[in-house]
Structure formats: structure tokens, C-alpha cells
């Protein structure tokens, strides 16, 4: 059998950037089914990485594996320079405070207000006074572009865009180094999606945040992602800036990035 080949072999970190996540030779499967084999991936500090792949190829599985929520069969996952397989319980807990996760549907607790949702990670991981948590929660709520009066609302009282922002505020609660976003613009109208992209870029620029974003949104891929990684054939077939994707002759990448919809987006952003 042929060895898996990386299309973008020159995956050296951009100057001055270290890999905040480094995956090598990863294998994950369920029973007889193998989802990944020999999967390599780097996420560099301070970048917005867009992660693409066909439906059911394993984008969510990879996120869960990186987060340590799934067992792996082979390979290594280094997070903040530490191998997940050999870290202590204390190091694991420390790592968990250094990332935030925004699930596709927001996954807010419906019985809690926005402010209480944002305070959940603080309650779990920090020993802060209620007054301090109130101040911090308001700061995060403002940071994601929500009005202060959203703080006391319940998720059922929010629009889809507001739910995403509230969930992002919760993901930012502990001042993480990296946030994982699962299709953050899905379900948003084009204006809402573009605003959310702008927000992500602003947070990266102002906080030095690293962003790992699973997305099907071609606008996001063209406009806001520094690099893109593409999943197919049980591995990352290409990793690099949009130009790398556009120049690739891999059939899946060609149909994804040169299809009718992609051409329209590419023309707009040219
Ligand atoms: N816990 C599990 N047990 C068995 N199979 C699983 C489990 N979790 C995921 N899978 C399988 O792994 C494959 C990849 O699923 P995953 O949800 O990661 O795809 P995806 O790329 O995120 O898809 P989509 O874009 O449609 O959300 C699917 O075939 C799914 O059925």
C-alpha cells in the first residue's frame, strides 16, 4: 500500500510561531471502522486555521480526539508542547483551562442566563468572588459584541447569532490561548456570518488568540482563515494558505475550491 503523502510537505511553522497543537501519525477508529490513519496536523499560535472535509469524514472526531474526549489507537497529540498520552492529571486540568470550545449549536445551559453560562467555567476552575465573576462575565459579553442587557437573558430569548456570541463569550471565560469553533457561522444569515468572522479576526488580533475552526463556509475560508487543513482519505491531505488549496490538483480539493460556489466567493474576494 502507498504511504500517505502530504501535499503540502513544507509545513514549517511561520517565522516566530510555535505549534500550539501538533498531531502526528494519529489513528482513531470505532470497532471495525477506521476514521483516521497516519493523520498529521499543526496548529500555529496566533493563526486562524480553517478545517474542512466532506460530511462524515471525521472533523468532529478529530476535535474530540484533540480535546482528549476520545481514545486513540496510534500516534501522538501534543498540546502546548506536551504529549497528551503522558501528561499528569494536574497538567491535563491546566490544559483544559487554556482552551475554549464553541459547539455547533452553542450548547448553552437553557436554565441559566447568559451571564451564568459565561460564569460556569469560572466556577469550575477559579476561586473568584461573585462580584469579580460578574465583572468578568460582563467584560466577555461586551467583548463578543453583545449588549449588556443580554447578560440576564435566557438562551431561548436570544437569536441564533446572539447564541453563538454568548457561547463564544463562555468559551473565552478563562482567557484561553486557543478556541475550537465547530461551524460557527452555520445557521447565520450572510451578514451575521460576516460579522462573526470579523469578530473572530478582531479577537485574534487583540487577544493573540489561536482559532481552530471547523467550517463549510467558503466566505470564512477565503476571508478570515490564515491557513486551511483539508481532511479526506482518513488523513489531512493538504495544509496551507488558501493559495495552496487553490493550486492543488487533488480531486476533492479541486471540486471544493473550484466549484461554482467557490468561484463566486473567490471572484468577490479577489
Ligand atoms: N462514538 C462513535 N462511535 C462510533 N462511530 C462514531 C462515533 N463518533 C463518530 N463516529 C463516526 O465517525 C465518522 C465521522 O463522524 P464526524 O461526526 O466526525 O464527521 P464530520 O466530518 O464532523 O461530519 P459533519 O460535517 O457531517 O458534521 C462518522 O461515520 C460517524 O458515524
- Helix, strand or coil for residue 53? strand
Ligand 1: which atom is nearest the Cα of residue 231? Answer: 21
Distance from the alpha carbon of residue 59 to the mean position of ligand 1, in angstroms:
8
Residue-range definition of the domain harbouring residue 182:
46-61+98-263
11: pLDDT strictly greater than 80: no
- The total domain count for the chain is 1
Ligand 1: which atom is nearest the Cα of residue 33? Answer: 5
Mutate to test the pocket of ligand 1, among 27, 51, 52, 60 (most ligand atoms within 8 A of CB): 60
Distance from the alpha carbon of residue 235 to the mean position of ligand 1, in angstroms:
14
Ligand 1: which atom is nearest the Cα of residue 64? Answer: 18
> Angle formed by the axes of helices 160-171 and 114-125, to 10°?
20
Round to whole Å and give the CA distance between 195 and 207. Answer: 18
Closest Cα to atom 14, ligand 1: which residue?
A: 58
Residue 12 pLDDT:
57
Residues 6 or more apart whose Cβ sits within 8 Å of residue 78 = 19, 21, 22, 23, 24, 84
Domain membership of residue 231 (yes or no) is yes
Domain membership of residue 207 (yes or no) is yes
Domain membership of residue 90 (yes or no) is no
Q: 218: domain CATH number?
A: 3.40.50.300
Ligand 1: which atom is nearest the Cα of residue 70? Answer: 1
Residue 25 pLDDT:
97
Confidence band of 121 (pLDDT split at 50, 70, 90): very high
Domain membership of residue 10 (yes or no) is no
What percentage of the chain exceeds 70 in pLDDT? 92
Domain membership of residue 72 (yes or no) is no
267: pLDDT strictly greater than 90: no
Domain membership of residue 55 (yes or no) is yes
Domain membership of residue 18 (yes or no) is no
Closest Cα to atom 25, ligand 1: which residue?
A: 55
**pLDDT, tens digit (0-9, with 9 covering 90-100), for 171-203:** 999 999 999 999 888 888 888 889 889 999 999
8: pLDDT strictly greater than 60: no
Strand order in the sheet with 210-214: 99-102, 178-182, 210-214, 48-53, 227-232, 235-240
pTM listed for this prediction = 0.88
The binding-site residues of ligand 1, defined as CB within 6 angstroms of any ligand atom, are 30, 35, 53, 55-61
Residue 4 pLDDT:
41
Amino acid at each position: 500500500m502507498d504511504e500517505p503523502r502530504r501535499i503540502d510537505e513544507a509545513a514549517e511553522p511561520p517565522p516566530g510561531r510555535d505549534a500550539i497543537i501538533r498531531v502526528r501519525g494519529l489513528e482513531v477508529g470505532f470497532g471495525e471502522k477506521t476514521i483516521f490513519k497516519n493523520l498529521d496536523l499543526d496548529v500555529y499560535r496566533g493563526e486562524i486555521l480553517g478545517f474542512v472535509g466532506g460530511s462524515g469524514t471525521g472533523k468532529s472526531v478529530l476535535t474530540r480526539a484533540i480535546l482528549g474526549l476520545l481514545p486513540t489507537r496510534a500516534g501522538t497529540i501534543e498540546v502546548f508542547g506536551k504529549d497528551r498520552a503522558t501528561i499528569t492529571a494536574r497538567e491535563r486540568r491546566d490544559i483544559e483551562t487554556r482552551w475554549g470550545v464553541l459547539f455547533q449549536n452553542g450548547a448553552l445551559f437553557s436554565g441559566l442566563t447568559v451571564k451564568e453560562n459565561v460564569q460556569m467555567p469560572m466556577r469550575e476552575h477559579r476561586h473568584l468572588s461573585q462580584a469579580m465573576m460578574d465583572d468578568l462575565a460582563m467584560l466577555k459579553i461586551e467583548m463578543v459584541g453583545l449588549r449588556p442587557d443580554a447578560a440576564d437573558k435566557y438562551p431561548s430569548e436570544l437569536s441564533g447569532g446572539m447564541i453563538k456570541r454568548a457561547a463564544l463569550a463562555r468559551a473565552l471565560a478563562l482567557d484561553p490561548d486557543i478556541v475550537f469553533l465547530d461551524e460557527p457561522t452555520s445557521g447565520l444569515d450572510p451578514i451575521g456570518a460576516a460579522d462573526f468572522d470579523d469578530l473572530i479576526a478582531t479577537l485574534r488580533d487583540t487577544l493573540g488568540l489561536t482559532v481552530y475552526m471547523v467550517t463549510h463556509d467558503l466566505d470564512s475560508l477565503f476571508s478570515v482563515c490564515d491557513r486551511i487543513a483539508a481532511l479526506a482519505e482518513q488523513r489531512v491531505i493538504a495544509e496551507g494558505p488558501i493559495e495552496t488549496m487553490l493550486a492543488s490538483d487533488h480531486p476533492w480539493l479541486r471540486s471544493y475550491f473550484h466549484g461554482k460556489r467557490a468561484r463566486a466567493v473567490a471572484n468577490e474576494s479577489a
